[in-house]
Structure 1
Amino acid sequence: MTDPVRTTTPSVTDPDRPDPTVGRKPKQTPLEQMGGASGLVYTMLPIVAFVLANASLGLTPAIVAAIGVALALTALRLVRKEPVQPALSGLFGVAVASFVAWKTGSAKGYFLLGIWSNVVLGGIFLLSIVVRRPLAGIIWGALNGTAATWLKDKPSRRYYDIATLALTAVFAARFVVQQWLYEEDATGWLAFAKIAMGYPLLALALLVVVWAARRSGKRLKSQDGSAPAAQA
């Protein structure tokens, strides 16, 4: 007596079951996670308010104006239900910069923290290349939730070395230009340089990071595809 033949029916998707991909928000780009295009405006307004108020009213009103604008922008993000992390980071930066300006008694002191933070960040990014852990790749992986398998691939690590050098060059250029304007007491031009060399210059460096990520991704994908073939 033979066993009955078992047949399997193909699974049919339930038309009433909601599609899990529907309503899912698309993954944000690194620039969007840092505030997007509005981040440039939110960064610019407190600086403009500080410079204009300092030119017409003096240092103390300028500090009040900058902090007031930063608080207003944070409240606006809350009302519009936008991500508040960029605004809170900006508010903290404005508060610290205002404190330095008040402590030094000079309007150009408002930009002092940002100038020297470029030295620190540039040094950290450069050091990451020396220790063979380029930060551009590590940060990209953290933002996109990808594994750090590229660290074992020399060409991939070289791509991210180039991207990290691009970011280091941004920090170095900011320091050289803004430190020179600081020593020249050119507060207005210093504000312009901080805005122009902020998000726009960072966006150019991020293009190099995206290039490195795509080149590395193609390499790792091809390696994953060739491994099963080699085993077969």
Structure 2
Amino acid sequence: MQITSPQETATAVQTADRKKSALDQAGGVKGVVYSALPALVFVVANSAGGLKVGILAALLVACGIAVQRLMRRESIQPALGGVFGVAIAAGVSWYTGSAKDFFLIGIWASLAGAVAFVLSVALRWPLAGLIWNSTTGKGTVWRADKRSRIYYDVATLVLAALFGARFAVQQYLYQADEVGSLGFAKIAMGYPLLAVGLLAVAWAVRASDNRLKAVGLLPTEQT
């Protein structure tokens, strides 16, 4: 029978707390659903009643989600971010008078993300490694090993490809003035693609940590 030391137990608890905190900040499963509702409601309401009705409906849904979370004493950070994002998108669409412009900022944000990820690899500071190791307090030790850096290069390029694909598809639909398809693409290429990117990052983290432990740049776990 394997005996777990107090230190290992404490580490496991801390890890579980960090995972729970990250899930709470992301809004959990509800957050994934809630994030898709304003865009879906906008498309349906715009089709049924026009641009102004679509904008108003999307804003009301975003605000309603925030109020519901507040009343249930849940994390409202994702909801507030959603209200802010919907408000900006609605403002742009209202100003231009075009329903498709509701998605304009998100489209160009995807392009900016793709460029940033590719540029970070070219500068030998892949964002996947930089962001992960900064938030977990591991610093920049991973950059001292070329192979470890390559792992994060791969993960970063996967993220760049996902953001690039999101831009390419949605920009094509934007040019074709396909508002309904834009709404579907925004939802389908949102969290599902992000999940793929996170899997790539998780692979890079595990591969990098194993490599760094093998070369003595990270301490091995106590047995």
Q: Structure 2-normalised TM-score?
A: 0.86
Q: 1:218 aligns with which of 210, 216, 219?
A: 210
Between the two proteins, the alignment pairs up a number of residues equal to 211
Q: Which has the larger radius of gyration?
A: 1
In the alignment, which residue of structure 1 is the partner of 2:18? 27
Q: 2:128 aligns with which of 124, 130, 136?
A: 136
1:156/1:215 contact within 8 Å kept: yes
- Structure 1's 77 and 23: CA in aligned 2 closer, same or farther, altered over 3 A? farther
Matching residue's letter, 1:80 = R
Report the RMSD for the aligned CA atoms in angstroms: 2.6
Structure 1 residues without counterparts, runs of 5 or longer: 1-12, 14-18
Cα distance in structure 1, aligned partners of 2:216 and 2:13? 31
Cα distance in structure 1, aligned partners of 2:49 and 2:13? 50
Structure 2 residues without counterparts, runs of 5 or longer: 1-5
Cα distance in structure 2, aligned partners of 1:226 and 1:43? 38
1:31/1:203 contact within 8 Å kept: no
In the alignment, which residue of structure 2 is the partner of 1:4? none
Q: 1:74 aligns with which of 52, 66, 73?
A: 66
Following superposition, the deviation at residue 205 of structure 1 comes to 1.1
- Structure 1's 196 and 29: CA in aligned 2 closer, same or farther, altered over 3 A? farther
Q: 2:183 aligns with which of 185, 188, 191?
A: 191
Q: How does 1:107-118 map to 2 (within 5 A)?
A: 107-118=99-110
In the alignment, which residue of structure 2 is the partner of 1:95? 87
Cα distance in structure 1, aligned partners of 2:214 and 2:175? 52
Q: Structure 1-normalised TM-score?
A: 0.83
Cα distance in structure 2, aligned partners of 1:22 and 1:107? 49
Structure 1 residue 39 corresponds to structure 2 residue 31: yes
Cα distance in structure 2, aligned partners of 1:219 and 1:198? 32
> Identity over the aligned pairs, expressed in percent?
49
Matching residue's letter, 1:71 = C
2:59/2:83 contact within 8 Å kept: yes
2:141/2:217 contact within 8 Å kept: no
In the alignment, which residue of structure 2 is the partner of 1:8? none
Cα distance in structure 2, aligned partners of 1:182 and 1:165? 25
In the alignment, which residue of structure 1 is the partner of 2:3? none
